[in-house]
Chain A
Amino acid sequence: MDIPLEKHKGKIRTVELRKESPSGLAIGGQDCLALHLFEGSYPNKPVIAWEITDTDPSKWLGDVRKPYKDVLGDPVGWAKMVREEHGAKIICLNLIGTDPNKDDKSPEEAASLLKNILSAIDIPVIVKGPGPGEKQNDVLAACAEAASGQSCLFAAAVEEQYKTLVASCMAYGHALVAETPIDVNLCKQLNILISDMNLSLDRVVIDPLTGGLGYGLEYTYSVMERIRLQALGGDEMMQNPFICFIGDEVWKVKEVKADDPAWGDREKRAILWEIATATSLLYSGADILVMRHPEAIKAVNEAIDDLMKG
Chain B
Amino acid sequence: MNSFKVTINPFNKTVEIAENSSLYDAIHKSGIPIHADCGGEGKCGKCRVIVDKGDYRSEKNRLVTPEDSARNIVLACRTFPGSDITITIPDKTLLPYDYIEPLRSCPIAIKAETIDPLVKRFSLRLEEPSLDDNISDLERVKRGLKKAGVSGAIGCSLATMRKLAPLLRENGWMCDIYLLSADNSIVDAGRPSGGSRKLGIAIDIGTTTVATEFVDLESGRSIASHSLYNRQISCGADIIHRIVFSQKDDGLEKLRSLILATINETVKKITGESGRPREDIICAVLSGNTTMEHLLLAIDPKYIREEPYIPAATRFPILTAQAVGLDIPPHSPVMLTPSVGSYVGGDITSGVTASGMNNSDQLTLFMDIGTNGEIVIGNSEWMIACACSAGPAFEGGGIGDGMTATSGAIESVKIFDMNRPPVLTVIGGGQPRGICGSAMIDLMSELYYCGLINQKGKFNPDISKMIRKIKNTLGYIVAPKERTEHGKDIVITEIDIANLIRAKGAIWAGVSTLLKKLEIPFGDLQRVLIAGGLGNSLDIERSVSIGLLPDVERDKFCYLGNASLSGARLALLSEKARRELDEIASKMTYVDLSTTPGYMDEFVAALFIPHTDASLFPSMSS
Contacts and interface: CB of A to CB of B under 8 A. Distances in A.
Interface of A: 159-160, 183-186, 188-189, 192-193, 196
The 10 closest A-B pairs by CB, nearest first: A185-B605, A185-B604, A185-B612, A189-B608, A188-B612, A189-B612, A183-B604, A193-B454, A186-B604, A159-B456
26 contacts: A159-B456, A160-B458, A183-B604, A184-B601, A184-B604, A185-B601, A185-B604, A185-B605, A185-B607, A185-B608, A185-B612, A186-B604, A188-B612, A189-B455, A189-B456, A189-B607, A189-B608, A189-B612, A192-B455, A192-B608, A192-B612, A193-B454, A193-B455, A193-B456, A196-B454, A196-B455
Contacts of A185: 601, 604-605, 607-608, 612
Contacts, number: 26
Contacts of A193: 454-456
Interface of B: 454-456, 458, 601, 604-605, 607-608, 612
A189 B614 CA distance: 11
A192 B454 CA distance: 10
A196 B621 CA distance: 13
A192 to B, nearest CB: 6
Contacts of B454: 193, 196
B333 to A, nearest CB: 51
A203 to B, nearest CB: 19
B461 to A, nearest CB: 10
A192 B455 CA distance: 9
A235 to B, nearest CB: 8
Given A160-B458, A185-B605, A196-B454, 11 more contacts: A159-B456, A183-B604, A184-B604, A185-B601, A185-B608, A188-B612, A189-B455, A189-B456, A189-B607, A189-B612, A192-B612
A160 B494 CA distance: 12
A73 B456 CA distance: 41
A196 B456 CA distance: 12
A285 to B, nearest CB: 19
Nearest to A183: B604
Contacts of A184: 601, 604
A53 B608 CA distance: 36
A188 B604 CA distance: 11
A271 B345 CA distance: 58
A239 to B, nearest CB: 15
B543 to A, nearest CB: 21
Nearest to A193: B454
Contacts of B605: 185
Nearest to A230: B613
Contacts of B608: 185, 189, 192
A159 B455 CA distance: 11
Nearest to B451: A196
A193 B455 CA distance: 7
Contacts of A196: 454-455
B139 to A, nearest CB: 72
A193 B458 CA distance: 11
Contacts of B455: 189, 192-193, 196
Pick from A160, A186, A196 the residue with the most CB of B within 10 Å: A186
A166 to B, nearest CB: 12
A183 B601 CA distance: 8
Contacts of A186: 604
Contacts of A160: 458
Contacts of B458: 160
Contacts of A183: 604
